[in-house]
Structure 1
Amino acid sequence: MPPPPSDVLSGARGVVRLLNTAGGRVLCLAGDVDAAAVAAFLRRYGREPARVECIDAGSVTALSPAARELLLDHLEAAERAGRTVTVRRSAPVDRELTGSR
């Protein structure tokens, strides 16, 4: 049996993954995305925002400041490159991105 992912070992409560799909790369966030989940993602993929076609954050229940920064970094990188990224948002993500509480 393979070892568990590093975010499981680090005690992260949420999940951040980069998936390759038929429609392109998808940044997936789910659960209570805390700083440990973001740190595990950055150790695996590096700090440079990945080129993604979609961000799936529809299953996020809470977004830490580090997770919000990661999400915004990917959106800003796409905007600077002139690319449109589809974002599937949960209510907590929508509140974070629009600034409403």
Structure 2
Amino acid sequence: MIKAKGKIKTQEFVDHLGSLLPLAHTNLIDGFKENQRELLKKSLDDANSLIENNEWGIGLENLLTNLYEIEFNIDNKTVKLAFDALKSCGFKLEEWKFIEELKSK
């Protein structure tokens, strides 16, 4: 069975982000009832569910927006994987530049 490139790239991004889950902090986030790790886990689970149901573009959008909302710091590799997934899904990259703001300092 042939998989769409957008689906593959989105899954690669989600899988990589999942490997960073232990780096999420466990302090409660203002405006939320959960900590960063719990919220990131929920977002990853939601993204995986959407990918399985061939809604990888929605899963990617939701996950990236949630990363920004919970201020999860990411590295250069994660940013590259995010942009690769966005490009493969046909999104306009200039609309997602805020992702670079999440890079670890």
TM-score range, shorter chain: 0.3 to 0.5
TM-score, normalized by length of structure 2? 0.34
Higher helix residue share: 2
TM-score, normalized by length of structure 1? 0.35
Higher strand residue share: 1
